Amino acid sequence: MFGNERTFRVSLNIDESALFQEEIPKETHQLPFGFASGALHFQFEKKPTQVKESKINGLLELSSMVFMLSVVLLVLYAYLFWHLVPVQDFSEQTIWEGRGWYQLLGIQVTGGLFIVSMLKCMLESPGSISSELRLQVEQVVGNRYHVVMTEELLSKLQAKDRKRSLLPRYCKTCILVKPDRSHHCSVCNYCVLRMDHHCSYINNCVGLNNYKYFINMINYSALASVLVTCTMWEGLLLAWENPKNTVLFQAVFGIVYFANTLLSVVLVGFNSFHYYLILNALTTIEFYEKKSVHFEVSPYHQSLKSNWLAVFGTNPLAWFLPIKPNSSDTLTFEKPELSAFN
């Protein structure tokens, strides 16, 4: 198919960090030359997996998850039994009589959708690179891998899946060619498609397949937290005015309320940040790389509508529900003309 095959052999004993300083996003695992056809032979030292660090990270992940669940359960318990029960007499008033019923419905809906979104975000794979993009290993000498990258392999990636130099990216740990916007997660120990960040609170990476679930999760956590802040103050005042309550209970109730108020501000800000990223076609990783690479507009930016639909899908009824969006190709991302890089 490709006619006269050309073969290149080179050893990558160079300072890769000095190459392609203006590329977006910045990567160090980049082939330092291009080719149009044939096969490319090269070698590199495989990055080992840090087993000790993995165990430590596992304990930190577990601690973060336990802390988050403890906070959620404590706030929910306080809202139901310290606020709603004293404020609303559910035994005497029929349904929809009294604002307590509406508050109970609100916390059930937002809390339920938060839990479903969190579970989907935790259990859904963020998206891994297909084994079809694995580099062909010719020889292994110690920790040094001699591999070959064929044009057949590269044909699976479009030109827009490479960087400004049109050169393919590869991972020294997974021994894979990396599509655009994919990154290796040192905690999960594999390359994630359109990686946004690794979240300790869900013990999972946030990537292409579960990013919408993550947005749904922080949406409903913010809504639930704001609902608690805007309504639980009445129960707090009743608790402080009731002489039967101990000082310790009143103090704990106050701490829970004001801690939740602070959490509401943080969650609203965190939501705003991620909506900024969505509308500007950025991931969290690309946002921080933007500071060092110095580019004005994301190379994946099309329009506000296109950027929104790329994350939430084309069905408006599913935008704010923990439902998987309809997406196209998991390996390619639309880009404007190359002039946008300049």
Backbone angles phi, psi at 277, to 5 degrees: -65, -45
- Catalytic position from the list 185, 199, 205, 230: 199
Question: Considering only CA atoms, which of 294, 26, 329 is closest in space to residue 165?
Answer: 26
The answer to whether the beta carbons of residues 196 and 283 sit under 8 Å apart is: yes
Strand partners, 170: 177
Task: Please spell the DSSP secondary structure of 168-215, one letter per residue.
Answer: PEEETTTTEEEPTT-EEETTTTEEETT--EEETTTTEEE-TTTHHHHH
CB proximity list for 132: less than 8 A, separation 6 or greater: 153, 156
Written as six digits, the tokens of 294 are 């110095």
Region of 238 (left: φ > 0; alpha: ψ -120 to 50; beta: rest) is: alpha
**266 HSE (CA, 13 A, CB side):** 7
Tally the residues of the chain.
Answer: 342
Active site residue 199: yes
* Catalytic (active-site) positions: 199
